[in-house]
Amino acid sequence: MAAIIDLRGKLKRILDEVTAKALGKLQLAATTIDLRQAAASYDLFTCTTQDVILEKLVIRLPNINVADDATITSISIQTDDTTAQVLISAVTGAKANLTAEAQLGWTGVALIKVGTKIQVTIAGGAADASTVCDVVAECRAVVAGGYLA
């Protein structure tokens, strides 16, 4: 009897994983990024398997004030398309807005094609101390199987 219950649990987990990437179903993708890195662009998410519609994105700073750091001037978040879809501009992500526990968000609709990356760009230089931010995106698969990884 225990084997049957265990098998049911495994089947439920498999079914949950498949339906999580179903057409039109809301999905969450989460990652972290440390702002104590050289000025450059860093990958946050990659659209995998099928296209997705991005609906929301938020970056939350830890309880560390970056607004008084020496070299960082801003952050921005955008796609790596030839014509980038800017989600959080350098104006919104200006150093003055990078205070302890600040949350910068974007809400809208953006079609993210398979293979497209969503990246954060750190401008000016690294944060003075380790500043590991949480980043969460909400999206929906255009065709079953699409997701952000």
What residues does each domain of the chain span?
Answer: 23-148
Query: Over the range 26-38, which residues count as b (16 or more CB within 10 Å of their CB) and which as e?
Result: ebebebebebbbe
At which residue do the structure tokens 């526990």 appear? Answer: 101
- pLDDT digit string, tens, across residues 10-50: 766 665 565 556 778 999 999 999 999 999 999 999 999 99
Q: What is the pTM (predicted TM-score) of this model? A: 0.86
Strands (E), the chain: 26-34, 40-48, 52-60, 74-79, 86-88, 103-112, 117-123, 132-141, 147-148
Q: Name the one residue in this structure whose structure tokens are 């003075």.
A: 128
Q: For the domain bounded by 23-148, which CATH number is listed? A: 2.60.120
Residue ranges of alpha helices (H) inside the chain are 2-20
User: Over the stretch 101-122, which tens digit does the pLDDT of each residue have?
Assistant: 999 999 999 999 999 999 999 9
Exposure b/e, 2-12, CB count within 10 A at least 16 = b: eeeeeeeeeee
Nearest CA to 104 out of 132, 139, 73, 76 is that of 76
> What CA–CA distances, in Å, run from 35 to 40, 95, 110, 120, 125?
10, 11, 25, 9, 9
Give pLDDT tens digits for 62-89.
999 999 999 999 999 999 999 999 999 9
Task: Quote the CA–CA distance of 94 and 112 in Å, as a whole number.
Answer: 25
